[in-house]
Structure 1
Amino acid sequence: MKIRSLFSFPTFILALLIAFSVNSQKRDKTEETTQIKVSPKLVVGIVVDQMRYDYLTRFYEHYGDDGFKRFVEEGYNCKNNHFNYAPTSTGPGHTSVYTGTTPATHGIIGNNWYDKENDIDVYCASDDTYNSVGTASDAGKMSPHRMTVTTITDELRLHTQMRGKTIAIALKDRGAVLPGGHTANAAYWFHGGDEGKWISSTYYMNQLPKWVDDFNSSGKAQSYKKAWTTLGDINTYLESGPDNNGYEGLFQDEVTPTFPHSTPNLLDKTRDYELIKATPYGNSITTDFAIEALKQENLGKDAITDFLAISFSSTDYVGHKYGVNSKEIQDTYLRLDEDLARLFKALDKNVGKEEYTVFLTADHGAVEVPSYLKDQRIPAGYVDYETTQTKFSEFLKFKYGTEDIIKNFSNLQFFLDDKIVKNLDLELKNVQETIALELLSYDYVDRVYTGYQMWQNDYTSGIPYILQNGFNQKRSGDILLVLKPGTASYGSTGSTHGSPQVYDTHCPLLFYGKGIKQGSTVARTEIPDIAPTIATLLGISFPSGNTGQPIAEVLE
């Protein structure tokens, strides 16, 4: 007798489909669970001081395969990345990268500024309640106490119950202190002078670790007290102007701003280590120290994510001295490219190529040397404060009977004396507007905004949007100046920055490594977007003042 099947063939096929669907749903849920976060062993944040976006493209054919090109060709390139606030300077720049917000929220409104609550001038990282570590000078009396919110590095420390390490390194103190956040295990910066040492603050430690002492005693700083020659044949540096021109500064004892730079102070092994900062060798010693920290601090050696924050500062010193179009800038970036390749190699070896995530950006851009632009018949110039000071003083005396109604001038902002305004029985809004209209008549001024406008409006685009993001209600001034494009409050040689103009706001943003897609975008991204993008990647809280948005295209 034939035994009949319990299931017909169609029933059997249906059962298979249901089973496949259930298993598929399980796999999808598993994939969703595993993709809720990515856990690189190490995140490396790199800020290149005063790097314009076009330094990436201008010198691209000279770069090797393992530095900037590795970022661009294997990582993700945000081509239209901008600072969305002013002033565009080092302190606010580093803070905004790591807090995911702007000076309006994080409080670092400049490198230095007038503290109107305490009637003193302050520096963004200074703190006399702490002492120097590694030097008898005051160079280590620093902390992040003026930064009012958390950083992405703080949030990673909190998320890991303080088990994930944060180490921050830069030639400049503010380039290490502010990215390290409030909870960094250590922040180190380079004290030049006649010492040439990496130092810190008692905010972080009471004495330097042995490995830092050993590094300081190794002779590394002395080895970089050498002539600065070009990395390649200077005749191939066609992407920059002539070596000998009137738009560049000079080292002491130099007659012309030309290669090789080999002044007695630069070559002297026992004095003026500060000069290293103004050569590409400052970036090289920063790389040396960062690689040593990677090894000695065992960063990226376990499943708990660590963070290494590195700022390359020599690019800023060189830019200020020689300008955007100099052979010196080109050589500095070609040498930085080699330093980045060395850093990648160390990360591959010590952490593992697929086990770390890196981003690279800048803290601001820079203007072409205005005197050079003028010679090219491009509108540009300099602020003549000496001439306009007389006119402005006469206006204040005529209108208000005293110059003292202006209490301070800081970061192109005027601060009024509220007591004098009240004593004269005047409305603050009216005084702001009256002075603003006077300043608008000066030739070098492009536009003027008042504190009242910053309070009352919600700007969403253009220059006022940028100014408002930099306007901190408790710390900023009463009248805000914007100079004409191409105009600088600076000397006649070298480049500077600080404005809301596009040459100061357009900077690179590159991502590479674990959890990062390969590709690029021309959609606008902004500096405060970096921290929430990394936070989303790691699955951790956004910094406490965050106003940026995660860049979805970057993440796998």
Structure 2
Amino acid sequence: MKNRFLVRYSFIAFSVVLFVAISCKPTGFSQLWVEGYQRSARPDIDIFLVPKKYALLQTKKATDTYSLARFDKKQLESELSHYSRSIQDLQSSDTAEYKEDGDTVSMKVGRVTHSTAYDYDTEIPLAFFGKWFDANKHNQVVYQQEIAPTLASLMGVSMPETAKLGSLNTKQLKQSNGSLQMPDIVVVAVIDQGGRNLLKLHSEVAPNIHSLIEKSDQYAKAKVGHLDAHTAVGHAAIGTGAFPMDNSIISNTYYWIERQNGQSKLASRAIYAGKDESKVDSSEMTALTLADQLNRAYNGKSVIVSQSYALRAAIGMGGHGALNLPAESQAAIRNSNFIYWLDSNSSHWITDSRYYSVPSVARASDPLLQFTKYYPTGFAGYQIRDRASAKKNWGTLMATAAEAELEGELIRAVIQSEIIAKNKDKDGVPDLVYVSFKSADAVGHKFGYQSLEAKETLATIDEQIGKLIDFLKENYNDRFVLVLTADHGSVPLSEITGGLRLSIEEVINQIDSLLPADVTKNHSLVKMMTVAQISLNHDLMQEYGITDRQVAQKIMDITVNNQKFFAGVLTRQDLNLKPDKK
């Protein structure tokens, strides 16, 4: 408890001093940005972006991608009113293709993202259910980084020094012999993109979720306390209890522009893996997870499960498995660490078998077959019937109630087959299970969390969480802990807010305009960037006398529809961080 408050208040105190130092900079953003970047800054990052509220920074491909989404008309009118907009704004749009069919509205919407320190991206649910917790409602701000230390205190292990915030309140229960009474299983259910905005807007289809929260030790002001507010970063926070400054995970994807002889293209690399997702590099996450600590403490006797269709989520929660462990321990750890994700090429669950295993029941699970069974006539105009169309429309395949049902059914089957059926539920060693309902994220990106598509997917997730609770009660009685949270929230649709859109390519091109034109034919000032953080080419900057401040000003000058896109652009000096010496 002491460490948690010392760390939190040290950030606040430093931010007060820092505000004076940067008061000459644009002030259209809160100090949450400053604190978030201080907790997140890696040594190789030079520039930190603060877009205006509701503004979206994405790749040009994402910015130019539209889908036909459905809305409840009354709910849509209510949502529009929050931003001083109306149905008439949509009806008069040249691009929305607005149509009404009774109480349902359909219109084209652009793809959305999440990354910022604004409330819509950072306000998340956090609830602990089980006899180790009292059913209270807390109003202090807490972060995802406090989940792992809290659970560690119940499971007989400690977290490494990278988990700086410490444990939240628990009841330390004792057995008759005076030893610590541990839960037989801890299950952490993460609703990806399941921020409080989603749960509030569609509360009528989430009775199980809201009932669970009310019966739990709940933190009503739980927040994402880091940047970028992305899947990889949020799941690593949940798994490691560390901020990005200590676990090194700052984004899902790194971008840069490759320039050669005047030709250019956007290049990218996803976290942890390249094109072959069966070969991962989990060493990119430089902090140990709770699962890693259990592996070391119990030498493979603790069953670890981490399930998400995205490897960046599964690894962030589940950790490193057998990586860098003594040779004599690797087989036991590998065989008890079920950390797995979906391969879009085969539509099957895979893993990196050097470090982890795939449960046998997962090998028989196929989201394409699930989709065709669930939607025999197609979904939202998409006919996905074979591997080729599944790969082409992978984001749509994942953005459905069919996928949500599969996620819930599979995690119960894995617990049954890998823990209960093997009598590991009563061996005195606590097991740890993570499940990420990532279908909520896919549907939110494609259709927006305000859509009926998102509502339908949430309804199925709620049903699956209800079944998970019943399953745990039936098989574990009161010997389990269930945690419910989210990795991040999401921005409302630009069509509803009127928010601006900008491409990553445009940002890089504007930065490179500081160079002589002939130099930009083959070189870029940007080594890599996320959607909010930029690493610069210092050698090129030194050669042409370009400073961080000039880069920041060039970015600040970017406009969209004659409006400034950014509320602020911060340098390492602005954040009082040591300069990047690389």
Q: TM-score, normalised by structure 2?
A: 0.57
Q: Distance in 1 between matches of 2:369 and 2:174?
A: 53
Structure 2 partner of 1:448:
569
| Aligned counterparts, 1:383-422, within 5 A | 383=502, 392-397=511-516, 404=523, 406-411=525-530, 412-422=532-542
Structure 2 partner of 1:90:
231
Shift of the alpha carbon at 1:401? Answer: 9.7
Q: Distance in 2 between matches of 1:30 and 1:417?
A: 54
Residue 189 in structure 1 maps to residue 316 in structure 2? no
Residue 147 in structure 1 maps to residue 272 in structure 2? no
Q: Secondary structure at the match of 1:150?
A: coil
Shift of the alpha carbon at 1:402? Answer: 9.3
Q: Secondary structure at the match of 1:349?
A: helix
Q: Secondary structure at the match of 1:187?
A: strand
Q: Name the amino acid aligned to 1:39.
A: M
Q: Distance in 2 between matches of 1:56 and 1:35?
A: 41
Q: Distance in 2 between matches of 1:422 and 1:369?
A: 41
Residue 334 in structure 1 maps to residue 438 in structure 2? no
Cα contact 1:49–1:316 (8 A) shared by 2: yes
Q: Distance in 2 between matches of 1:103 and 1:402?
A: 34
Which of 222, 231, 244 is residue 369 of structure 2 equivalent to? 222
| Aligned counterparts, 1:502-541, within 5 A | none
Q: Distance in 2 between matches of 1:30 and 1:281?
A: 40
Structure 2 partner of 1:60:
203
Q: Tell me the alpha carbon deviations over residues 534-554 of structure 1, each in whole angstroms, 9 at most, x when there is no partner.
A: xxxxxxxxxxxxxxxxxxxxx
Change (3 A) 1:192 1:415: closer
| Aligned counterparts, 1:112-131, within 5 A | 112-113=253-254, 122-126=269-273
Q: Tell me the alpha carbon deviations over residues 55-75 of structure 1, each in whole angstroms, 9 at most, x when there is no partner.
A: 2233333334xx313422221
- Give RMSD over aligned pairs: 3.6
Q: Tell me the alpha carbon deviations over residues 82-134 of structure 1, each in whole angstroms, 9 at most, x when there is no partner.
A: 11111111111100111111111101111122699xxx954222179xxxxxx
Q: Distance in 2 between matches of 1:335 and 1:446?
A: 38
Which of 317, 327, 346 is residue 179 of structure 1 equivalent to? 317
Which blocks of at least 5 consecutive residues in structure 1 are unaligned? 1-28, 129-137, 230-258, 375-379, 458-471, 476-556
Cα contact 1:167–1:309 (8 A) shared by 2: yes
Change (3 A) 1:74 1:103: same
Q: Name the amino acid aligned to 2:341.
A: W
Q: Secondary structure at the match of 2:219?
A: strand
Shift of the alpha carbon at 1:360? Answer: 1.5
Shift of the alpha carbon at 1:211? Answer: 3.8
Q: Distance in 2 between matches of 1:269 and 1:124?
A: 25
Structure 1 partner of 2:137:
none
Q: Name the amino acid aligned to 1:407.
A: V
Cα contact 1:227–1:262 (8 A) shared by 2: no
Structure 2 partner of 1:434:
550
Structure 1 partner of 2:210:
69
Q: Select the structure of larger CA radius of gyration.
A: 1
Q: Secondary structure at the match of 1:265?
A: coil
Structure 1 partner of 2:442:
317
Q: How many residues align?
A: 375
Cα contact 1:221–1:285 (8 A) shared by 2: no
Q: TM-score, normalised by structure 1?
A: 0.60
Cα contact 1:405–1:421 (8 A) shared by 2: no
Shift of the alpha carbon at 1:390? Answer: 6.5
Structure 2 partner of 1:167:
305
Cα contact 1:225–1:269 (8 A) shared by 2: no
Cα contact 2:189–2:435 (8 A) shared by 1: yes
Which blocks of at least 5 consecutive residues in structure 2 are unaligned? 1-171, 258-266, 322-332, 559-563
Which of 74, 77, 80 is residue 221 of structure 2 equivalent to? 80
Change (3 A) 1:227 1:309: closer
Q: Distance in 1 between matches of 2:224 and 2:216?
A: 21
Q: Distance in 1 between matches of 2:512 and 2:389?
A: 44
Change (3 A) 1:191 1:402: closer
Q: Secondary structure at the match of 1:452?
A: coil
Q: Distance in 1 between matches of 2:454 and 2:575?
A: 37
Change (3 A) 1:108 1:320: same
Change (3 A) 1:127 1:149: farther
Which of 179, 188, 194 is residue 45 of structure 1 equivalent to? 188
The sequence identity of aligned pairs, in percent, is: 21
